Amino acid sequence: MSGSPIGSTPRAWARRWAFLALLVVAALVSFLLSVASDRPVLVVSIGDSVTYDADPGLRAALEATGSVVVDTRSIGGVGLLRAGIDDYLADALSDDPAVVVVMLGGWDLGEIVADPAAYAVRLDEVADRLTADGAHVVWLAMPPTPPGEGIEEARQTANGLFGELADRRSDVDYVATGPLLGDEAGAFTRFRTGVMGLDVQVRKVRDGRDDGHLCPGGAALLGRAVLDLMVDRFDVSEPSGEWWAGEWTTDARYDDPPGACAAMATSSG
């Protein structure tokens, strides 16, 4: 009997190679999914000098989960209407973060009060840019400010616009900071209950007067708030260890000016 042995015809070999190819593709897809699932969630923070003080606490809280990496990009003088902001945003987004944490507004207050509608348009422009490649935005409100600064009304106007941005977009979450850093009424306070339920200094003192910048206790509270949102939305695990009391709390920024975060609760007035 002539012809190819059973199972060795060209058609049979083609089926075998097709089957092997499917096995290879399935194995590759499985590998890639495994690698993707093990890849840390990249979070980038952007903002002004208050956010710069918050950054170490944010990083400590999120990276203690073991599944998040935080790239802190906050610097002094950042505002959405300030010169160089577009290059700043492009640089912050260069590594394609999954989450962008934003806290700013102080440098834009004059323009916000003068034309809230125009600033709302600018917020949508910035949100479009931050989320263009699929990132989710966590927008932290401007924290309560010392009464002596006289900008509370402007701050509330700004926060109202930030909250409205989140209301009209599914890719932006808004986190109010008055309940996190303020007193029972959400107003400025130098001391309040911290992450572990003990009274801590949350805001700096400068030349003997209350200052709007943050101490480690305040940074930890903001870090915990962002962490809670990440656990809920991105299913990251709870952190391990006492991240709120780590070496980050001795960063030099918390001693600028010297003694800024060394006030005693009995002297708060």
Q: Is residue 12's pLDDT more than 70?
A: no
Q: Report pTM.
A: 0.84
Query: Where are the chain's structural domains?
Result: 40-267
* CATH, domain range 40-267: 3.40.50.1110
More confident residue, 175 or 7: 175
Peptide bond into 5 cis (omega under 30): no
For 183-214, give the DSSP string.
-TTS---SEEE-TTSSEEE-EEEETTEEEEEE
Per residue in 160-186, pLDDT (tens digit) is 999 999 999 999 999 999 999 999 999
The Cβ of residue 149 has, within 10 Å, a number of other Cβ atoms equal to 15
| Phi, psi dihedral angles at 205 (to 5 degrees) | -120, 135
Q: Is residue 11's pLDDT more than 70?
A: no
Instruction: Report pLDDT for 9.
Output: 66
Enter the tokens of residue 171.
Answer: 């890719």
Instruction: Report pLDDT for 8.
Output: 57
Q: Is residue 223's pLDDT more than 60?
A: yes
Per residue in 60-106, pLDDT (tens digit) is 999 999 999 999 999 999 999 999 999 999 999 999 999 999 999 99
Per residue in 230-264, pLDDT (tens digit) is 999 988 989 989 999 999 999 999 999 999 999 87
For 58-76, give the DSSP string.
HHHHHHTTSSEEEEE---T
More confident residue, 14 or 82: 82
Instruction: Report pLDDT for 34.
Output: 36
Instruction: Report pLDDT for 218.
Output: 98
Instruction: Report pLDDT for 235.
Output: 86
More confident residue, 34 or 179: 179
The C-alpha atoms of residue 90 and residue 171 are separated, in whole angstroms, by 18
Q: What percent of the chain has pLDDT over 70?
A: 84
